[in-house]
Amino acid sequence: MVPGSAAGYGAQMADRGRRLKVAARSFAANARDPALRRIQLGFAGACTAEWAFTVVLSVYAYRQGGATAVGVVSLLRMLPSVVLAPLASAVADRWRRDLVLTLVSSFRSLTAVGMAVLVANDGPAVVVYAVAMISTAAALLYRPVNSALLPLLCRTPGELASANVVRGLLDSLSTLVGPVIAAALLAQGGASAGFVAVAVLSGLSAWLTVGLTVEEPERRTPPSSMATGVVTAARVVWSTSPLRLLFLLLGAQTLTRGAVTVLTVLVAVDLLHLGDPGVGTLTAALGAGAVVGSLAASVLVGNQRLAAWFGVGVILWGLPLAVLAGVGGEPAALLLLALLGVGNALVDIGFFTLVGRLAPERMLARVFALMESVGALTVGAGALLAAALGNAFGVRVALVAVGLVGPVLVVVSWTRLRRLDLQMVDREDDVALLRSVSVFDPLPLPALEQLAAGLEPVQVAAGASVFEQGDAGDGCYVIESGTAEVVGDGSRITTLGPGELVGEIALLRQVPRTATVRALTDLRLRRLEGSRFVRVVTGWETTSVRTSGHVDDLLDRFSPEPPAPE
């Protein structure tokens, strides 16, 4: 045995044990919190309905017009969502997001009932497709609103990653359960029975979120038009380099995902001769891999390399398809499609956690809806591309061509992904510093992220002043290290140390500095710009009440004692 290897192995096992305990705590925390539990279960119902819907509609379209019909229908039902989902999400950034979730699932249930009735009575296929387009446009709003709501229930980046791991596992289970339900019903009762299952699952999702209320920030600015709000969200994504990179790579993954909708049909029916139920079986393999991937991703909670893992997930969404082109047989196909599912779990935890931390809270729903819009367009384009390649060159060429898109883009972008990971490590330290300040303690994670994004390092030498009594207040400071004294009217009032906030009274009361703050030792500070600080801490009812009482206490505390009578 190599010297020291036993100790190294023991350290690795201890680290794995620690990560498993963290993962277990994350699942337990989601189960204990009533709001998180209801939101997560509602999400599971909505996603299970979506996967069942996709399989049933794909088989129905294939029986109506072959692979071309599957590709065309997949594209057409996504096209309205490209425009409608972002516009509707602008409403979600003004209304209560929990209410929007209930309405979306209820509408999805009603449209699924309509499709079941149409298919059962041999209604025109074009009408079925039209209702599918309307249903898809509504359903695509669910995920961005859910994604925008989830960070409001979290206090730290680790909690958000934990919630996304749990949500990813539920999403993966739905990827498995939805197609299994679809396959069973297609074999027994046909497409009509499959659409009934979609209606029931969507209704359960709506029921789980009825009456749920989550505190959201006050929307103080006059609401802009929906179109303007969408353009603003697109401009934020385009002008923010990390967001732009994440969206580009996600577009490659969703292009592949759309192609898989067609390729699974071609592989099951034409290549492996498994028949209609084989489509559900292969899709369920993808779901099984996603479940395994989600369980593995649970040990990544708190991991500070989520951008890199996101890139690995995009690679796994494509590379197995290229390999599938060179091998044959059902077992190999099931294994390789399961690897796509593993990639799906890694993509979800990386993308939703990073975007939830990088995008401004006031437009989270619009940013996530823009993701759905880009996804809808690329999913439809991927399905059409796979159908065209399959018809022109055969399924094997289509598998290779589509499978290499994501991996090539990730290789080109790898350095930028690693740089993003380093940036988020620094941001997490800033969030932890802000969380140590009592005034900021009630704030949810998106609010702290907004504050952390504006922190500026400041150093003050011992004996120098941070600011003088009577100065104009243009910012406040969090003490990172060192000690300072507060001096009012020439008298020392108190001393302050790490984790304490100074300068907030002038900002919240809109008055000149009420005292002088002077460094007793060398100070390392983090400065917050005044307007950002006021906008964030007074925008939430809980912190607004707390800061008002906090300032009153400070004014009493910092008021110099009157001189004793002679």
Query: 207, 232, 220, 168: which is closest to 27 by C-alpha?
Result: 168
> Is 545 in the same domain as 413?
no
Q: The domain containing residue 169 runs over which residues?
A: 14-214+225-430
Residues 66 and 171 grouped into a single domain: yes
- 117 CB burial (10 A radius; 0-12, 13-18, 19+): middle
Rounded Cα distance, 451 and 528, in Å: 7
CATH number at residue 88: 1.20.1250.20
Q: Are residues 523 and 403 in the same domain?
A: no
**27 within domain boundaries:** yes
In angstroms, how far apart are the furthest CA atoms of the chain?
A: 104
- Which amino acid would we find at residue 522? D
* Token pair of 243 as six digits: 């967001």
Does some domain include residue 5?
Answer: no
Q: Which two tokens stand for residue 522?
A: 């060398």
With the C-alpha atoms ordered 412, 418, 419, 423, is the resulting torsion angle positive or negative?
Answer: positive
Residues 183 and 326 in one domain: yes
pLDDT digits (tens, 9 = 90+) for 10-60: 454 455 555 556 556 666 767 777 888 888 889 999 989 888 888 888 888
Same domain, 479 and 338: no
Paired residues of 508 in beta bridges: none
Given a contact cutoff of 8 angstroms between Cβ atoms, the answer to whether 134 and 111 are in contact is: yes
Please check whether residue 65 lies inside any domain of the structure. yes
Task: Kindly state whether residue 539 falls inside one of the protein's structural domains.
Answer: yes
Q: How many domains does the chain have?
A: 2
| H-only helix segments in 140-240 | 142-149, 157-188, 190-209, 226-239
Residue 440 lies in a domain: no
Measured CA angle at 355 (ends 354, 359), to 5 deg: 125
Secondary-structure breakdown of the chain: helix, strand, coil percentages, each rounded to the nearest 5: 75, 5, 20
Domain assignment present for 8 = no
Shared domain for 425 and 549, answered yes or no, is no
Which residue numbers in the chain have pLDDT < 70? 1-27, 29, 78-95, 215-230, 273, 275-277, 280, 298-304, 328, 539-566
Instruction: Look at residue 22 in the predicted model and tell me its pLDDT.
Output: 59
pLDDT of residue 412: 95
CB-based contact 173:44 (threshold 8 Å): yes
Are both 72 and 116 inside the same structural domain?
yes
Q: Would the pTM of this model clear 0.75, i.e. be above it? A: no
Same domain, 149 and 81: yes
- The CATH number of the domain holding residue 525 is 2.60.120.10
In a domain, 6, yes or no: no
Q: Are residues 287 and 352 in the same domain?
A: yes
**Cβ atoms 260, 340 nearer than 8 A:** yes
Same domain, 377 and 502: no
pLDDT digits (tens, 9 = 90+) for 512-562: 888 899 999 999 999 988 888 877 777 665 555 555 555 555 545 545 444
Are residues 315 and 414 part of one domain?
Answer: yes
Task: Indicate whether 423 and 461 sit together in one domain.
Answer: no
